[in-house]
C-alpha cells in the first residue's frame, strides 16, 4: 500500500503547488504537504504513482483533462452552510434589495459550493418580496459558479440530507422552502431553485460572458489566492458590477489597495463594498 506522506517529496510538492496555482489560482503555503497527501493519496495509489512528481508529469500530458478535473475537485475546499455569517444576508434584505428598483435583479454567487449560498439568497429574495410586494421587478436571476464539477452537480440537484439542512437553517424555513423527499433527504422548492442557474467557472479565467450584476457574493474563496491574483479578480468583479453595485466578501477578507474601485459601507453589524464609478 502506498505511503502517501512519503509520496509528497519536497521537489514534487513545489512542482504540484506551482501547477495548482497556475490552473486554478489556489496558493498553498510551504507546509501543506499533509493536506496534499490526505486529499490525493487514494488517487496516487489508484494511478500507480509512488511520487507526486509522476502525477504532475501526467497532468502535463495531452488528454489529461479528466485527471486535472479530479485533482481540482480533490483540492477544492467546500465548507459551507445556510446563511453563513448571517450579516451579509441581513444587509442584502434590509439595505441592498430596497435599492434595486430599476431592472430585474441579477446576483452572482461566486464559489457557490454545494448551493447553500445561492439558495439562501433566493430565500432572502422570497422573504423580501413577501414583506415588500412590488418593490423588485419580476425576473430575478442568481448565477452560481464554482470550479468543482462534482460539487456543481450536487448543487443543481438541490437535495440535502438532514445533517446538511440543520447547518444554519431553522425549522420554519425548512418547512417553508423545502419538500421532504424521504426520511433523510430534503429538496429545495422549485420556485426558489428556478431563480438559480449553476455554471462551471474558474475565477482565473475571464468571466465577462456572465454579464453585469447588481450584487456579487464572493465570500471565503479569495483567501486561497495570491495577492496579485486576488487584486486582479476584484478589479474584474468591479467591471462586472453595474454602477453602484454591491460586493460581499467573507468575514476574514478585506479589500486592500482598491479604494478607488470600492467604497466601504458600514452596516452595523457587517460591511459591504459599493462599486465606485471610475
Please report, for the domain that includes residue 128, its CATH number: 3.40.50.150
Instruction: Look at residue 195 and tell me if it is in a domain.
Output: yes
68/92 same-domain check: no
Task: Give this prediction's pTM.
Answer: 0.90
- Is the pLDDT score of 257 beyond 90? no
pLDDT tens digits, residue range 23-59?
A: 998 889 888 999 999 999 899 999 999 999 999 999 9
38/110 same-domain check: no
18/150 same-domain check: no
For residue 4, the model assigns a pLDDT of: 59
Q: Tell me the pLDDT band of 265, cut-offs 50, 70 and 90.
A: very high
For residue 7, the model assigns a pLDDT of: 85
> Domain of 166?
87-275
Give me the active site residues, please.
Answer: 39, 146
Handedness of CA 44, 49, 54, 58 (dihedral sign): negative
For residue 114, the model assigns a pLDDT of: 92
- Is the pLDDT score of 188 beyond 60? yes
202/123 same-domain check: yes
Q: What CATH number is attached to the domain comprising 14?
A: 1.10.155.10
Instruction: Look at residue 80 and tell me if it is in a domain.
Output: no
Look at the block and give the residue holding cell 486561497: 224
Question: What's the whole-number average pLDDT of the chain?
Answer: 92
Look at the block and give the residue holding cell 418580496: 129
CA distance linking residue 249 with residue 77, whole number of Å: 17
Number of domains making up the chain:
2
Instruction: Look at residue 81 and tell me if it is in a domain.
Output: no
Q: Tell me the pLDDT band of 1, cut-offs 50, 70 and 90.
A: very low
Instruction: Look at residue 12 and tell me if it is in a domain.
Output: yes
Phi, psi of 146 (to 5 degrees): -160, 160
- Is the pLDDT score of 76 beyond 50? yes
43/130 same-domain check: no
pLDDT tens digits, residue range 118-143?
A: 999 999 999 999 999 988 988 999 99
More confident residue, 102 or 149: 149
249/144 same-domain check: yes
36/94 same-domain check: no
Domain final residue, candidates 41, 75, 109:
75
Phi, psi of 254 (to 5 degrees): -150, 150
Amino acid at each position: 500500500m502506498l505511503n502517501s506522506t512519503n509520496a509528497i517529496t519536497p521537489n514534487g510538492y513545489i512542482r504540484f503547488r506551482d501547477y495548482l496555482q497556475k490552473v486554478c489560482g489556489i496558493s498553498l503555503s510551504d507546509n501543506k504537504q499533509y493536506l496534499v497527501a490526505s486529499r490525493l493519496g487514494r488517487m496516487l495509489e489508484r494511478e500507480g504513482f509512488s511520487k507526486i512528481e509522476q502525477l504532475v508529469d501526467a497532468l502535463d500530458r495531452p488528454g489529461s483533462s479528466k485527471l486535472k478535473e479530479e485533482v481540482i475537485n480533490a483540492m477544492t475546499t467546500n465548507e459551507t452552510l445556510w446563511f453563513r455569517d448571517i450579516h451579509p444576508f441581513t444587509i442584502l434584505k434590509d439595505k441592498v434589495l430596497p435599492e434595486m428598483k430599476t431592472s430585474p435583479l441579477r446576483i452572482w454567487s461566486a464559489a457557490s459550493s454545494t448551493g447553500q449560498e445561492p439558495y439562501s439568497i433566493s430565500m432572502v429574495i422570497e422573504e423580501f418580496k413577501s414583506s415588500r410586494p412590488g418593490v423588485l421587478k419580476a425576473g430575478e436571476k442568481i448565477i452560481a459558479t464554482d470550479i468543482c464539477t462534482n460539487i456543481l452537480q450536487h448543487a443543481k440537484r438541490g437535495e440535502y440530507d438532514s445533517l446538511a439542512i440543520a447547518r444554519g437553517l431553522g425549522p420554519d424555513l425548512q418547512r417553508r422552502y423545502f419538500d421532504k423527499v424521504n426520511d433523510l433527504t430534503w429538496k429545495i422548492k422549485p420556485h426558489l431553485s428556478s431563480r438559480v442557474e449553476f455554471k462551471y467557472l474558474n475565477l482565473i479565467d475571464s468571466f465577462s460572458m456572465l454579464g453585469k450584476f447588481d450584487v456579487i457574493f464572493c465570500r471565503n474563496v479569495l483567501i486561497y489566492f495570491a495577492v496579485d491574483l486576488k487584486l486582479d479578480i476584484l478589479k474584474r468583479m468591479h467591471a462586472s458590477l453595474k454602477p453602484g453595485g454591491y460586493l460581499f466578501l467573507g468575514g476574514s477578507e478585506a479589500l486592500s489597495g482598491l479604494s478607488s474601485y470600492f467604497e466601504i459601507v458600514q452596516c452595523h453589524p457587517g460591511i459591504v463594498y459599493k462599486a465606485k464609478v471610475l
